[in-house]
Amino acid sequence: MGSLDIRIYLLSNDPFLFNNFIHYSSVLQQLILPDMGEKANTQILPAIAVAIFNANGEILLQKRKDVNKWCVISGHVEFGETVEHAVLREIKEETDTTASIVRFIGVYSSPESQTYSYADRTVQYITSYFEAKLSEDIPVGFSNNETQELKFFHPDNIPEELALVNEHWLSDALERSTGIFIR
């Protein structure tokens, strides 16, 4: 599949085509990487991230328990689910609220911001980034096994202790006049 074909898939904003693109590119990478001499413990996996704004234009950040740092709501796409379902599931799991998807912001695959090293493997995530709107208020003081704290921040007052994220995550979410970002 050429770069023009990929752009057509991504820019079509068709969830079915996009989900198939993410699935098949992940499968293809897993088949090709071992033949390229890469380590057997490397993977490319689909993931999601979500920008959620309140009425004051502040963005919701989650202080994650696993890394003790702030980031947008994010997570893995589980086998058998669409990226849209993964977005709504992760919001429910990490905030105990429901939401609706507002728009697709972009796809992020840069190894510098999308590669995580774990004890048994290294994973490069292909992250689909969305904006969503909460349908209800977050329960006061909510926390669970993933979420230490949830808080809305003004874009000019983002905490310094951020988890590994793409350098354009906030500017891309705030930019509404352009199309889809591919980073």
Query: What are the structural domains, with CATH classification, of the chain?
Result: 3-55+73-138+168-182 (3.90.79)
* Residue range 60-66: mean pLDDT, rounded: 92
* Residue range 166-177: mean pLDDT, rounded: 85
Q: How far is CA 97 from CA 42, 69, 94, 109, 180, in A?
A: 34, 21, 8, 28, 27
Q: Which residue type does 91 have? A: I
- What digits encode the pLDDT tens for the residues 29-54? 444 444 444 566 999 999 999 999 99
Alpha helices (runs of H) in 36-124, residue ranges in sequence order = 83-95, 111-114
Map tokens 């993977």 to a residue.
Answer: 43
Is 176 a residue whose pLDDT tops 90?
Answer: no
- What digits encode the pLDDT tens for the residues 125-160? 899 999 999 999 999 999 898 899 999 999 999 998
Residue predicted with more confidence, 174 or 23: 174
Residue predicted with more confidence, 164 or 167: 167
Residue 94 banded pLDDT, cuts 50, 70, 90: very high
Furthest-apart CA pair in the chain: how many Å?
A: 51
How far is C-alpha 114 from the geometric centre of its chain's CA atoms?
10
- What digits encode the pLDDT tens for the residues 16-26? 555 555 554 55
